[in-house]
Amino acid sequence: MADSALFQRAELPRPNFSEADATRLLSDMYGFNGPIRELGSQQDRNYLIDTGPERFVLKICRAEYAGDELEAQNEAMRHLAQCGLDLRVPELIPALTGEEILSVKVNGEDCRARVLTYLDGEPLTPATSTLRRTSLPRSAMWRPPSRSACGIFPIRAWSAICNGISAAPALSPCIC
């Protein structure tokens, strides 16, 4: 993806997706019920649902984010889970239909949705990191994939993946 497209997309508003919309989607498409609350995000909508025995995060993004990018993120999580690192990685939860990424239309907006297991702890990147990362030189934000990972991810999605984990040096040898 061209850098200009990445920055244009960053200017888009967050999806118009309420807690009530999240509650309906989680119940209808995942069979999850329980109290929910919105988590912070710059470009997405993220909702934490507590089902009692387990907690999950519903992630909603605008349809302008290519399915390939989300698929690459999903593959990155699966790959990290199998790397043998002492690292907790969220698991992707398929919808009742078996789909990992749903295309949904809510309040006239096309969005993509997926659910991950929730991990307690501190985020890898603070809320202010996006501004800090975008001011770095391109070489500091993106590294090409290692030979062992080349067959796993579409190359055009690597920039998005590496930007998201550039502040996590422990992960870099495994992915980027």
Tokens of 5: 């497209």
Residue spans per domain, the chain:
3-125
Sign of CA dihedral 168, 169, 171, 176: positive
DSSP structure string for the chain: --HHHHHHHHTSPPP---HHHHHHHIIIII---S-EEEEP-SSSEEEEEE-SS-EEEEEEEETTS-HHHHHHHHHHHHHHHTS--S-----EE--TTS-SSEEEEETTEEEEEEEEE---S--SS-TTHHHHHHTS-HHHH--PPPGGGTTTS-GGGHHHHHHHHTT-TTTHHHH-
Rounded mean pLDDT of 13-36?
Answer: 94
pLDDT at 106 over 50: yes
pTM, 2 dp: 0.69
The reply to whether CATH 3.40.50.720 applies to domain 3-125 is no
Per-chain mean pLDDT for the chain: 75
- pLDDT for 114: 96
List, in order, residues 6 or more apart from 161 with CB less than 8 Å away: 72, 73, 76, 153, 175, 176
Q: How far apart are CA 176 and CA 168, in angstroms?
A: 11
User: What does the pLDDT read at residue 110?
Assistant: 92
Q: What is the pLDDT of residue 6?
A: 55
pLDDT (tens digit per residue) in 41-78: 878 899 999 999 999 999 999 988 878 889 999 999 99
